Amino acid sequence: MRTTVVGAGSWGTAFAAVLADAGHEVTMWGRRPEVCTAITKDHANPDYLPGIELAHGIRATDDPQRAIEHAEIVALAVPAQSLRANLAQWVDLIPRQAVVVSLMKGIERGTALRMSEVIVELTGVRLERLAVVSGPTLAGEIAERQPSAAVVASVDADVARLVQGACHTGAFRAYTNVDVVGTELAGAVKNIIALAVGMAVGLGLGDNARASVITRGLAEITRLGAALGADPYTFSGLAGLGDLVATCSSPLSRNRTVGQRMGRGESAASITSGSRQVAEGVTSCASVLELARRAGVEMPIVEQMSLVVAGQQSPAETVQTLLSRSAKPERHGH
C-alpha cells in the first residue's frame, strides 16, 4: 500500500519504520528540510532517533502535497496542539478514499476535543474512515524492532483490521478495538499521570508512592472514560494499563522525564522551551481538566498536576495536597 506519515518526530519516524518493515511504500512529511534529507539520503533521523538506521525505502519531503497525494493510508503524527493549524493547510490534499490514522495522544487546548474529533471537524472525513493507534509505543524501542504491541481502534471493524494488517511485522503486533473514545482518552491522560510519577521520582519518593500514583491515575482515567461512554475494558488493556505502565516506568518516556525534572525544581515552561520534543502531558493538562469538569468527573491527580505545570504550586505542595485528601473506599467511581 502507499502510505504517508505526516510528522517526522520520534513516534512518526518509528511508525514509518513499522510500515516499511511490513512491506509498504512509505513517504514522510517533515517540517524541516534537513530532517527530510537525512531520512531520505542517510536513512537516519539523528535529531529524534539517534543511532537508528531506517529502511532505505522510506522517503521524506517538506512538501505536503508530494507527501500525501495518492496515499491509501495517511497517518498523522504531529504534536497534538499543532494538529488544527496543520490540518487547515492539508485538508484538500488528503485523498477522499484514504484511511486517516491518528498517532497523537492529546486533548486540544481551548476545545477539549480528542484528536479524532479535530480531524473529523476540519476534514469532514467520516469517522468510519478513521483509526487510532495507541498503546505502549515507546518510539526508540519500536525503531530498534524490539517486540511491541499496540491497539488499532476504529468504529468500523473492517478499517481497524485494514490498519492492523498494514502495521503487522515480526516485531510489532497490533490488536483491534472499536472503542475510539476510550483509546484516545487513555493515551492522552496517561501522559499527565506519567508527569506525576516522574515528579515523585524527582522528589526522591519510593516505589510505593509511584505504584500508588499509577493505580489511582488509572482510576481517574477509567472514571473519565466511563462518563464519556468508553468501554471500561479498554482501560485494562494495552491502550490503558499497558500504555500507562510503559510511560510511567521508562526513562525513554518524555513525560516521565519532564516530571522528574519538575520534581527536582525546574519549571515546566523552562524544560519545554529548551526541547524540540513535546511532552504532551504538559500541553494537555488544562484541556483534560476542562473535559473532566464538563463531564462532572473528579480527577485530583490531573487537577494538581495542572497547578504544577502552570507554576501555581510546587511539587512538594502537590504531594501534601494529595495525601491530605479525605479517605474513601477503594471501589469503582471513587
Active-site residue numbers?
190
State the greatest distance between any 2 C-alpha atoms of the chain, in Å, as a whole number.
59
H helices within 144-206, ranges in order? Answer: 157-166, 180-202
- Residue of 203, 192, 182 lying closest to 266 (CA atoms): 203
Helices (H) and strands (E) in the chain, counts: 15, 8
Planar angle of CA 15, 250, 12, nearest 5 degrees: 15
Own/partner pairs, 159-163, CB within 8 angstroms, 24+ separation = 159/99, 159/128, 159/129, 159/130, 159/131, 160/131, 162/99, 162/131, 163/73, 163/99, 163/101, 163/131, 163/133
Question: Comparing C-alpha atoms, which of 148, 186, 215 is closest to residue 11?
Answer: 148
Burial class (CB in 10 A: 0-12, 13-18, 19+), 233: exposed
- Residue 33 CA neighbour count, 13 Å, CB half: 1
Q: Which residues contact 11 (CB under 8 A, 6 or more apart)?
A: 77, 103, 137, 139
Contact predicate 211/258, CB 8 Å:
no
CA distance 269 to 207: 27
